[in-house]
């Protein structure tokens, strides 16, 4: 087991290499938004975590957007998990046509230059544009069974963090032992579930 302070592209590459070197075949990878990973793992089927996509849009547009264009985009992205690719893309294209003037509206700023008036709306849209090719990978025939989010593993990490917080006095070495034990117990419980008839 390897411990890292921050997640870097190299850490992800090392993790994937480690999995492959153990004889596993990676059918696909779910990514939570780190853009550099999409190029790094372009040889694999990549699914952008739909939950993270919703979070990215919510960060730009806020929880309760004032503009109707923002509310409509947030609503559209909120339906990702219930949408199929063609319907979603069509609805998104219709949204872009409908709100073209709002999206491209510019205002004169104090610096004397013209800037896009609704920059946060454009940022949400640009993020969606980048991730759109990866939002429905799980629906393709060759990726049947692939989840559309990384929520399951994130839930596991949440459990781990709660357990670590309950034992906040652990030294760094004992924290590492605790984490290793947590994942060994998890692996054992998963293998027991596989063996059940």
CA atoms within 13 A on the CB side of 12: 15
CA nearest neighbour of 98 among 79, 121, 115: 121
Q: Return the pLDDT at 68.
A: 98
Q: Return the pLDDT at 194.
A: 63
Q: Return the pLDDT at 167.
A: 85
Q: Return the pLDDT at 151.
A: 74
Q: What distance in Å separates the CA atoms of residue 56 and residue 53, rounded to the nearest whole number? A: 5
CA atoms within 13 A on the CB side of 106: 5
Q: Return the pLDDT at 118.
A: 97
CA nearest neighbour of 31 among 15, 18, 122: 15
Q: Return the pLDDT at 112.
A: 93
Chain CA centroid to CA 62, Å: 18
Strand ranges (E), 75-123: 106-108, 114-116
Tokens of 50: 């739909």
Q: What distance in Å separates the CA atoms of residue 82 and residue 115, rounded to the nearest whole number? A: 36
Angle made by CA atoms 5, 8, 13, in degrees to the nearest 5: 120
Place of tokens 């004992």: 174
Q: What's the pLDDT tens digit per position in 86-116?
A: 999 999 999 999 999 999 999 999 999 999 9
Per-residue pLDDT tens, the chain, 197 aa: give them.
677 777 889 989 999 999 999 999 999 999 998 999 999 999 999 999 999 999 999 999 999 999 999 999 999 999 999 999 999 999 999 999 999 999 999 999 999 999 999 999 999 999 999 999 999 999 999 998 999 998 777 777 778 888 888 888 888 888 888 888 887 887 787 776 666 65
Q: Return the pLDDT at 195.
A: 65
Q: pTM for this structure?
A: 0.82
């Amino acid at each position: 087991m390897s411990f890292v302070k921050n997640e870097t592209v190299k850490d992800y590459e090392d993790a994937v290499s480690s999995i492959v070197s153990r004889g596993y075949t990676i059918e696909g990878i779910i990514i939570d938004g780190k853009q550099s990973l999409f190029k790094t793992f372009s040889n694999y089927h990549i699914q952008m975590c739909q939950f993270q996509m919703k979070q990215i849009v919510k960060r730009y547009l806020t929880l309760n957007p004032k503009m109707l264009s923002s509310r409509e985009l947030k609503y559209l992205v909120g339906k990702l998990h219930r949408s199929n690719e063609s319907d979603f893309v069509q609805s998104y294209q219709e949204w872009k046509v409908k709100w073209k003037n709002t999206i491209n509206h510019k205002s004169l700023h104090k610096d004397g230059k013209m800037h896009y008036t609704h920059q946060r709306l454009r940022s949400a849209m640009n993020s969606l544009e980048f991730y759109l090719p990866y939002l429905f990978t799980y629906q393709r025939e060759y990726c049947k069974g692939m989840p559309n989010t990384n929520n399951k593993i994130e839930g596991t990490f949440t459990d781990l963090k709660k357990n670590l917080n309950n034992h906040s006095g652990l030294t760094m070495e004992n924290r590492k032992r605790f984490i290793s034990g947590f994942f060994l117990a998890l692996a054992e419980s998963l293998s027991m579930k596989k063996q059940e008839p």
